[in-house]
Amino acid sequence: MTTDSRNSDLLFAANLLFRSSREGVFDDGNLWEESLILVAGGSAEEAEEKAAALALTRQSSYVAMDGAHVDWVFFKVERVFEILDTPLCDGSELFSRHLRHSEVQSMLVPFDGPPNL
């Protein structure tokens, strides 16, 4: 971790992945969540460490309407991007990535919620 004060105010977008389990079981029918958070740090490595620590505090559990126990568990920091548009203002780019055609097709399918949650 860096202590260089010249770079301590860099901003990063951290892309977090969480997965859900139902009654302690992770399977293909369970949901995933992608969360994009803002993290300050002196380097991408420091921002990734901070993002992982923050993600652990965002894990949650609850009882679904059908009585099943659902857990949302931090899976990984998928990627970290430095935000170059600073100071942040209307229209600032926070995150950008290239996608394959299949990824775009998946994103365009309406989400109606999981059949088993």
What pLDDT digit, counting tens, does each position of 14-71 carry? 999 999 999 999 988 889 999 999 999 999 999 999 999 999 999 999 999 999 999 9
Which residues have CB under 8 Å from 15's CB, separation 6+? 34, 35, 36, 77, 78, 79, 80, 81, 95
Task: Return mean pLDDT, the chain.
Answer: 88
Summarised one tens digit per residue, pLDDT across range 27-36 is 888 899 999 9
- pLDDT number for residue 66: 93
- pLDDT number for residue 1: 42
User: Is the pLDDT reported for residue 11 higher than 50?
Assistant: yes
